[in-house]
Amino acid sequence: MAVITFGESMVLMDPERSGRLENVSRFEKRIAGAESNVSIALSRLGHRVSWISRLGKDPFGLGIYRGLRGEGVDVSGVIFDETRPTGLYFKERKAHGATGVYYYRAGSAASALTTADLNGETWQGAQILFVTGITPALSESCREAVFAAVDTARQQGMTVVFDPNYRGKLWGGKEARSVMRQIAAKADVVLPGVGEGVLMTGSEEPAAIAFALRSLGAKQVVVKLGPEGAWYATSEDEGKVQGFSVQQVDEVGAGDAFAAGYLSGMLDGLTVAESVKRACAMGALAVTGTGDYENLPDREELERFISGASEETRR
Ligand code: KDG
């Protein structure tokens, strides 16, 4: 496998229309989860990726398992939990365009994930470990698993990529800040949004956030700026990459698509700036449709999108 990742996936109940959730009665059942979104995005781009998790032994867990397998993601490390359910969450599409989320995931199968479930000893040959700041917020055993996985990956010479993915509904800012800083210090690449950067470093400017995270130990930092693009910093180079302009439908999943674009660039040996451009293109495509990953491209579509957008800029 090129990439190993693990975390919780849930059934997403996606409202058929916008408006307050108490007045919405029809939902479409989908699959959601930051790490599985990244896995699907990578698989569609032709990379080999393994997603590890615990799912409830229920129809929702089975649906997620089959959905990911159908997308070409390796799910051989997934464990079905006989006693705990698959997590669930509802989206609310607010009239003014923002998206609200309501979780039903406390005590879920994935929250019982342990270090032993990851089988880190089988990762030899993999290039990248991708972890998010959602997993350490789920439970003590999940938090331990993240730190153990990062240590194992480092020992095996893998590149550790960390997306802080702060979820205020799962834990408080103070605790999150401390844990995320510890993970960032051990990561090779950190991919925060500006808000997460502020939380983790206290700095507000992208360049200052990147500098602070690099001072902690991260080698590359890419600060996501939404439609504006992203700011990147490494020991050799720093700069801004312009984003792509699209009609936004649903912003959820954009960060995961961005991460996948960046990982894909790394795996293909692109420069940091080129990888950031690919990441921005993936993020832009993700927001053009509803669902976390449904709108994500295959490689040909992605290349067409990037070159089409550059054509337009030149005209
Ligand atoms: O990035 C999108 C994810 O946040 C969403 O799919 C659900 O993983 C999720 C979470 O925990 O918020």
CA of residue 33 to ligand 1 center, whole Å: 4
Instruction: Tell which residue, 80, 78, 59, has the closest CA to residue 69.
Output: 78
- pLDDT at residue 297, as a whole number: 96
Q: What does the pLDDT average to over 253-276?
A: 97
pLDDT at 311: 55
pLDDT one-digit tens code per residue, 5-17: 999 999 999 999 9
Q: Which of 8, 14, 36, 89, when mutated, tests ligand 1's pocket best, judged by the most ligand atoms within 8 Å of its CB?
A: 89
Give the tokens for residue 198: 């502020």
Residue nearest to atom 3 of ligand 1 (CA): 34
What are the b/e assignments for 214-239, b being 16+ CB within 10 Å?
bebebebbbbbbbbebbbbbbeeebe
Q: In terms of Cα–Cα distance, which of 220, 217, 216, 214 is closest to 234?
A: 220
Mean pLDDT, all residues of the chain:
95
pTM (predicted TM-score): 0.96
Predicted confidence at residue 251, as pLDDT, reads: 81
Average pLDDT over residues 204-226: 97
The torsion region of residue 119 among left (phi > 0), alpha (psi -120 to 50) and beta comes to left
Q: Active-site residue 256, yes or no?
A: yes
pLDDT confidence tier of residue 312, bands split at 50, 70 and 90:
low
pLDDT digits (tens, 9 = 90+) for 99-147: 889 999 999 999 999 999 999 999 999 999 999 999 999 999 999 999 9
Looking at the predicted structure, is the pLDDT value of residue 230 above 70?
A: yes
pLDDT score of 314? 47
Residue 290 has a pLDDT of 77
Q: For the chain, what percent of residues have pLDDT higher than 90?
A: 88
Q: Which residues line ligand 1 (CB under 6 A)?
A: 32-34, 37, 134, 167, 252-253, 255-256, 292
pLDDT at 209: 98
Distance 60 CA to ligand 1 centre (A): 16
Distance 34 CA to ligand 1 centre (A): 5
